[in-house]
C-alpha cells in the first residue's frame, strides 16, 4: 500500500485533510465578484485549500508565487506564461498586438510549455499594465478568471511603488477574482488593514488557522489503522500533541510513523522512533541554520524550545520583541495564542543540545 500521508507539496484528493468549511467559504467568493485575502503561517495548507476550492469551482485560474519573482519584468513574464497555459497563443495573438513592448515568446522543446521574456531594461510599469490588461480583456463577466498570488507580502520587495500601481490596475478590472495569500502576519495586515496602504480593504480578510483537532484526529486514525489497527487513535493523539495540530508537521510525522509500521512493526514506540529519524535526517540542515543565528536569536529559540519565559531580564523587552518579529518574518517562529517555534523537530534538535 502507498503511504497515505503527503507533505511538502500541494496536497490534493485523498491526501487532503478535511477543510470542508474553509473550502466552502473560499468557493463562495470565487462565485462572487469579490476578492479574498488569506493570511496564515507557512505550511498551514492555505495553498492546498485554495487549489481545491478553485478546482471545485470549475473556473479558469492561474497561480503565481511572488517569492519566485525577481523584478516587475519577471512578474509580467511569469503572469503571461501562466496565462498561456489556459489560453493558447493562437487565440489571443490579436490582444498581444496592443502591447507597447512586444514580448519574446517561444516553446520549450523539453516541456512543451511557453517561455516568455521581455527585453532587458524594458519599462516595468508598461509591461505589467499591458499584461494585466490582456488578462482582463480575454475574459468576460460570465467567465471571470481567478488569479491566485501566493506570498503576496513580497510585492513590496519586488519594486518601489509596485503595490500602488497594481492596485490602480486591479480596482478597474471586472473580469478577474483575485485571491491573495500571505504568510507574514504583520506585513499582510499592514498591506490590507493600514489606511495609508494602496491595498487597504482590497478584499475580504480570512485567517486560516490550524486544523480542528477532531477532524485531523479522524483523518490520521483512519489511515494509521492499516499498520496499527489496535492503537491508531492513541497514536493520532500523540502525533497531534507533539505537533500542536500543525498541518505540515503532523503529516510528516504520521508519514514516518506509518512507514515504521510497515517496515519495522516490532518497534514498541513508533512515535519516538519517527521523531528521532526526522531530527537525525535534518540535523545538518538544522546546524547550518543555527550557525547563522546571532546570540539573541539563539537565546530566544532556546527559551521557546524549553517553554521558558522570554521576559527574564536577560535582554531588554524591545530587543526581544524586535528579534521575535525578525524570526517570525523568516518563518522560524509563529504566533497563535503565544509565540512558539514553527518546526517541532527543530525544537527537538535544540532540546537535544546539538
With respect to residue 6, please indicate whether it lies within any of the assigned structural domains: no
Q: How many helices (H) and strands (E) does the chain have?
A: 16, 9
Whichever domain contains 306, its CATH number is: 1.10.10
Last residue of a domain, one of 180, 207, 234: 207
Confidence of residue 352 (pLDDT cuts 50, 70, 90): very high
- So what's the pLDDT on residue 12? 54
Residues 140 and 221 in one domain: no
In angstroms, rounded to a whole number, what is the distance separating the alpha carbons of residues 212 and 218?
Answer: 10
Residues 303 and 328 in one domain: yes
Residues 191 and 51 in one domain: yes
pLDDT tens sequence across 75-84: 999 999 999 8
pLDDT tens sequence across 231-244: 999 999 999 999 98
**Pick from 330, 352, 152, 334: nearest CA to 246:** 334
With respect to residue 9, please indicate whether it lies within any of the assigned structural domains: no
pLDDT tens sequence across 326-348: 998 888 998 877 899 999 999 99
**Domain that residue 289 falls in:** 283-351
pLDDT of 15 strictly over 50: no
**Can you name the residues that pair with 40 across neighbouring β-strands?**
none
In angstroms, rounded to a whole number, what is the distance separating the alpha carbons of residues 144 and 52?
Answer: 18
Residues 36 and 85 in one domain: yes
Residues 44 and 130 in one domain: yes
- What percent of the chain shows pLDDT beyond 70? 96
Mean pLDDT, residues 90-101 taken together: 83
Last residue of a domain, one of 182, 207, 232: 207
- What percent of the chain shows pLDDT beyond 90? 62
In angstroms, rounded to a whole number, what is the distance separating the alpha carbons of residues 165 and 301?
Answer: 39
In angstroms, rounded to a whole number, what is the distance separating the alpha carbons of residues 144 and 318?
Answer: 47
- So what's the pLDDT on residue 27? 87
pLDDT tens sequence across 255-274: 999 999 999 988 999 999 99
- What is the average pLDDT value for the chain, to the nearest integer? 89
Residues 121 and 227 in one domain: no
**Pick from 343, 332, 259: nearest CA to 300:** 332
Last residue of a domain, one of 207, 224, 239: 207
pLDDT tens sequence across 26-62: 988 888 888 999 998 888 888 888 998 999 888 999 9
Residues 152 and 248 in one domain: no
Q: How many C-beta neighbours within 10 Å does residue 265 have? A: 10
Which pTM value belongs to this model?
Answer: 0.78
pLDDT tens sequence across 174-227: 999 999 999 888 889 999 999 999 999 999 999 988 778 888 899 999 999 999
With respect to residue 76, please indicate whether it lies within any of the assigned structural domains: yes
Kindly compute the dihedral angle of the four CA atoms of residues 46, 48, 54, 56, in this order, to the nearest 10 degrees: -130
Residues 221 and 120 in one domain: no
Residues 277 and 292 in one domain: no
Amino acid at each position: 500500500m502507498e503511504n497515505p500521508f503527503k507533505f511538502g507539496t500541494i496536497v490534493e484528493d485523498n491526501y487532503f485533510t478535511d477543510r470542508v468549511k474553509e473550502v466552502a467559504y473560499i468557493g463562495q467568493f470565487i462565485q462572487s465578484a469579490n476578492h479574498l485575502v488569506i493570511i496564515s503561517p507557512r505550511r498551514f495548507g492555505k495553498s492546498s485549500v485554495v487549489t481545491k476550492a478553485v478546482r471545485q469551482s470549475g473556473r479558469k485560474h492561474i497561480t503565481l508565487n511572488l517569492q519566485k519573482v525577481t523584478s516587475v519584468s519577471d512578474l509580467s513574464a511569469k503572469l503571461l506564461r501562466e496565462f498561456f497555459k489556459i489560453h493558447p497563443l493562437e487565440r489571443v495573438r490579436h490582444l498581444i498586438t496592443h502591447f507597447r513592448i512586444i514580448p519574446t515568446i517561444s516553446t520549450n522543446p523539453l516541456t512543451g510549455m511557453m517561455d516568455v521574456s521581455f527585453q532587458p531594461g524594458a519599462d516595468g510599469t508598461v509591461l505589467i499594465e499591458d499584461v494585466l490588461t490582456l488578462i482582463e480583456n480575454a475574459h468576460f463577466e460570465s467567465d471571470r478568471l481567478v488569479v491566485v498570488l501566493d506570498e503576496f507580502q513580497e510585492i513590496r520587495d519586488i519594486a518601489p511603488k509596485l503595490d500602488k500601481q497594481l492596485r490602480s490596475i486591479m480596482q478597474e478590472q471586472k473580469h478577474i477574482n483575485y485571491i491573495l495569500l500571505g504568510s507574514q502576519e504583520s506585513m499582510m495586515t499592514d498591506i490590507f488593514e493600514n489606511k495609508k496602504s494602496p491595498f487597504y480593504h482590497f478584499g475580504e480578510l480570512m485567517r486560516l488557522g490550524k486544523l480542528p483537532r477532531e477532524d485531523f484526529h479522524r483523518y490520521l486514525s483512519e489511515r494509521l489503522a492499516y499498520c496499527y489497527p489496535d492503537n491508531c487513535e492513541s497514536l493520532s493523539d500523540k502525533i497531534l500533541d507533539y505537533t500542536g495540530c500543525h498541518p505540515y508537521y503532523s503529516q510528516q510525522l504520521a508519514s514516518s510513523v506509518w512507514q515504521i509500521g510497515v517496515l519495522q512493526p516490532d518497534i514498541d514506540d513508533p512515535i519516538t522512533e519517527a521523531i528521532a529519524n526526522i531530527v537525525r535526517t535534518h540535523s545538518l540542515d538544522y546546524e547550518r541554520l543555527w550557525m547563522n543565528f546571532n546570540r539573541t536569536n539563539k537565546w530566544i529559540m532556546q527559551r521557546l524550545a524549553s517553554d521558558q519565559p522570554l521576559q527574564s531580564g536577560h535582554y531588554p523587552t524591545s530587543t526581544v520583541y524586535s528579534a521575535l518579529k525578525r524570526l517570525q518574518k523568516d518563518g522560524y517562529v509563529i504566533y497563535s495564542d503565544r509565540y512558539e517555534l514553527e518546526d517541532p523537530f527543530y525544537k527537538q534538535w535544540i532540546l537535544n543540545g546539538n
